[in-house]
Amino acid sequence: MSINSFHALPDERGYFGDYGGRFVPETLMPSLLELEAFYVRLKCDESFQEELVHYLKHYVGRPTPLYFASRLTASLGGARIYLKREDLNHTGSHKINNTLGQGLLAKRMGKRRIIAETGAGQHGVATATAASLLGFECEIYMGEEDIMRQGLNVKRMELLGAKVNPVYSGGRTLKDAMNEAIRDWVTNVDSTYYLLGSVGGPHPYPMMVRDFQSIIGRETRQQIMEAESRLPDYIVACVGGGSNAMGIFHPFLNDGEVKLIGVEAAGRGLQSDKHAATLNCGRPGTLHGSYSLVLQNGDGQIQNAYSIAAGLDYPGVGPEHAYLLKSGRVTYTTAHDDDALEAFYLLSRMEGIIPALESAHALAEVIRLAPTLPREAVIVVNLSGRGDKDVDSV
Amino acid sequence: MWIPFEKGGYMVSRIKERFKVLKERGEKALVAFITGGYPSLEVAGQMVLGLAECGADIIEIGVPFSDPIADGPVIQTASYRALQGGVTVAGILEMVRRVRQQSPVPLVLMSYYNPILQMGLHEFCRQAAQSGVDGLIIPDLPMEESVPLLQAAEPEGIDVVPLVAPTSNRERIAAICAQARGFVYCVSVTGVTGEREEINTDLASLTGSIRQCTDLPLVIGFGVGNAATARHLAPLCDGVVVGSALMRLIMEDSFDRARELVREIKSAISRQ
């Protein structure tokens, strides 16, 4: 497969190479087909694109800055480090790019009710925000464990008018919240739009969420050209389900000279069972509607993932990432809880920016990488969210 | 009624044979669902035999899965506890093998796709057939993705029973029925498994559409928890599935009441 064909995926069955597809109950299939057809039409609809651009500019505050982190660069003593400031978006993370896109789509489909799963609560808050702005009834599913460690976001969702439904099954985190959201969807499929938050799930979600998040990479491309008159040597992003990484990587997939690094959560170590490094340790399987890499035991039972970052502890990953791993286009590394914490503190004190613990995993990779590179090298790191939500966990 | 082989040495489908006998008797099939391995493989095996003795025509055995997105709270809990007890796919097949030595009752495994995918579709189908499994129901495998399983199951004589949902349109129903083997499982409601007060779907229209596309038996499931609902649905179908209501009783340690429920429902759908 030639490198130029990256942008041609997924195929008509929703596959990125071997990965993707639609593994859902028949009840949902007609809706998925309808959604796909509707989305493909809207993608070329100028009035839809104008509406989305309008909200992204005037409501979200895009474009987000590409900030040269001079003190961090100087202290690490190597490559020049730029931060793509998705933390400065309204609601505090990249998630709003997708929730507004899908929210506007749901509006045009005539849906009245929106549901979503959330881990760290960032997607939940972004969904509740879009629902409030666009006038939807909104329910968010969130694992009880995550509710306890992300209290601020629970409060925010409630203030925005969403109902937060605690999920008590399994490990009580993102995976279990997603199970419950799918059960709601299968029950209320006619009235309800399922606003999936990452590049996982059945086709067309991985494609659609990637497209809505690709604004990150498109802006980055333009901004780095303005700042450095060339493309970066490295782009680094954290990967849970993989939406912020997919968003910043995608516009660069065909630029072979730009090295792309996804960083997974190694939690307490890959040798322990307390991690979320699906691309590094998972095997192919089906979970939540797509065929991708999955953390599972030998009997095909899905394992509970773990990370200090609630938005990363998911035992699956978007199928396009599995494909990019297999194709060799993207390298996927890992960062431990402790590495992420160190990066969290370093950026807070060095640049006056408190990053989300999720984004701190990407920073941890940059802290390792930058000193090994010459001073003229350029790294862009996707600072996918801000860390206010994490102050009680660190 | 135990006719393992017909001329040419091919196994007669036990599912087909059972529906044929029921049709001759003017009866409808009662399909009883239990979660495999709850409370243990041994007890579950005994329950399969017990339910067959008191009138269940086909037993559907649920293979526990960690993330059962199509199941309501009762079967979720039963699956979770079975997994906590260490139940594996191989264990379920071993249970089936023991049951098969004692009974000709048709056995259908209901499994999410990933556990059988991990064993390997061909290997799974081979072992399942050897154990005495007659059919498979995979709730998260729509027709678009089911070709690899159909190819693995067909040579082993295992029927892959598809689901038709209230949301399926006529084109999908036709395509699903064209792939169907054994029987067609008509999902009565949009939603997850579990008992319901009432079923609001226009089932006459849905079952009518299915009948136009296939001569295979039609079984209605999801939400059938008592004799009254079953009696109401019987004229539309060739059988009903009772799952969560049975599992609820079993989980309350009321196995006598579970058996009683099977007798009641079988009787309700047989006197038409």
* Residue B130 pLDDT greater than 70, yes or no: yes
Any A CB within 8 A of B146 CB = no
The per-residue pLDDT for A291 is: 98
Residue of A18, A24, A27, A293 best to disrupt the B interface, most CBs of B under 10 A: A27
Strand partners, A165: A141
DSSP secondary structure letter of residue B141: -
Cβ proximity of B63 and B109 under 8 Å: yes
CA distance A364 to B126: 48
CA dist list (Å): A118 to A121, A172, A202, A311: 5, 11, 17, 8
Among left, alpha and beta (phi > 0; psi -120 to 50; other), residue B220 is beta
Taken in order A81, A86, A92, A95, is the CA torsion positive or negative? negative
Q: How many contacts, defined by CB atoms under 8 Å, are there between A and B?
A: 118
> Is A33 buried (19+), middle (13-18) or exposed (0-12) by CB count in 10 A?
middle
pLDDT-based confidence at residue B8 (cuts at 50, 70, 90): very low
Active site residue ranges of A: 95, 117, 384
pLDDT for position B197: 82
Distance from CA of B3 to the nearest CA of A (A): 34
Tell me what ipTM this predicted complex has. 0.95
B189: Cα separation from own chain's centroid: 16
Quote the pLDDT of residue B272.
Answer: 54
For residue A68, the cross-strand partners are: A82
Q: What's A64's DSSP letter?
A: P
Q: What is the pLDDT of residue A1?
A: 44
Which pLDDT score, from 0 to 100, does residue B11 have? 64
Question: Which tens digits make up the pLDDT trace of B75-122?
Answer: 999 999 999 999 999 999 999 999 999 999 999 999 999 999 999 999
Q: What are phi and psi of A19, to 5 degrees?
A: -110, 150
Compute the nearest-CA separation of A173 from chain B (Å): 12
CA–CA dist B244, B216 (Å, integer) = 25
Distance CA A279, CA A264 (A): 8
Q: State the pLDDT at residue B34.
A: 97
- Ranges of chain A whose pLDDT falls below 70: 1-4
Which pLDDT score is estimated for B3?
Answer: 42
B271 pLDDT tier (thresholds 50, 70, 90): low
Phi, psi of B61 (to 5 degrees): -110, 120
CA-based nearest residue to A282, from A317, A232, A239: A317
Is B60 among the catalytic positions?
yes
Closest chain A residue by Cα to residue B191: A187
**Helices (DSSP H) in A10-161: which residue ranges?**
29-43, 46-55, 70-76, 95-109, 122-134, 144-149, 151-159
Q: Is the distance from CB of A294 to CB of A280 less than 8 angstroms?
A: no
- Mean pLDDT for chain B overall: 94
Interchain CB distance below 8 Å, A186 and B162? no
Least confident of B155-169, B196-210, B226-240: B196-210
Q: How confident is the model at residue B4 (pLDDT cuts 50, 70, 90)?
A: very low
Query: Which of chain A's residues have a Cβ under 8 Å away from the Cβ of B83?
Result: 301
DSSP conformation class of A112 = -
Q: Does the pLDDT of residue B185 top 90, yes or no?
A: yes
Q: Is A368 exposed, middle or buried (0-12, 13-18, 19+ CB in 10 A)?
A: middle
Greater model confidence, A80 or B9:
A80
Long-range contacts of B215-218 (CB under 8 A, 24+ apart): B216/B177, B216/B180, B216/B181, B216/B182, B216/B183, B216/B184, B217/B19, B217/B29, B217/B182, B217/B183, B217/B184, B218/B183, B218/B184, B218/B186
Mutation site for B-interface testing, chosen from A299, A303, A314 by largest number of B Cβ within 10 Å: A299
The torsion angles phi and psi of B66, rounded to 5 degrees, stand at: -65, -25
Tell me which residue of A110, A197, A190 sits closest to A157, measured CA to CA: A197
Asked if A26 and B176 come within 8 Å (Cβ–Cβ), the reply is yes
